[in-house]
Amino acid sequence: MRLILASQSPSRAAILRAAGVEPVLKPADIDERALETQLAGHSPADTVAKLATAKAEKVACRYPDEPVIGGDSMLLLDGQLQGKPHTVDATIERWHQQAGRTAQLLTGHCLIFGTQRHVETSTTTIRFAEASATDIEAYARSGEPLECAGAFTLEAMGGWFIDSIDGDPSSVIGLSLPVVRRALYSFGLSVSDFW
């Protein structure tokens, strides 16, 4: 039995690999921005869950006999969801907004196994450091945070600028192992089936 990961995120794959699972990578090709526009007015938790569900559904039809995981993460700051900044300038601007502040990282999960599904959003509180302007610019220019929800990583260079978190560290990196475990159990599977 294999776990199918409907994502191109190296962080999500790395979490599973570090936990003893070699996922089958099948990135879902969905228009996230168009879907985000359609979801305007939905709660932040519902938005990330629906994005994760769209990814899982896109891939699950090809793997009816294996569990498929879709995930999506966004930072909730001042009541607004923040996705990937994509550019150096947007990353610098984002960091000037969030430095020294507290925000919530929401990670939506959808696991589909045949006709069964488990949808859950995990929330982790992030306390950002008062990073200097020099470090913010250097971090943005490194390229690391450009394709990361919230414009940061916890497990790499961005870890310098995170003072603390309250919640599941794996969720901040991109995929909550506790959520995946609960989903597998609900499907009658064991985590060790995939080691």
Question: pLDDT tens digits for 150-164?
Answer: 999 999 999 999 999
Q: What is the mean pLDDT of residues 162-184?
A: 96
Give residue 142's pLDDT: 97
Give residue 35's pLDDT: 80
What's the whole-number average pLDDT of the chain? 95
Is residue 31 flagged as an active site residue? no
Cα–Cα nearest to 79, from 58, 101, 99: 101
Question: pLDDT tens digits for 50-70?
Answer: 999 999 999 999 999 999 999
Question: pLDDT tens digits for 179-193?
Answer: 999 999 999 999 999
Length of the chain: 195
Model pTM?
0.91
State the catalytic residue, choosing from 65, 72, 78, 135.
72
- Residue 3 and residue 23: Cα distance in Å, rounded? 5
Give residue 4's pLDDT: 98
Q: Is the pLDDT assigned to residue 39 strictly greater than 90?
A: no
Q: Is the pLDDT assigned to residue 122 strictly greater than 90?
A: yes
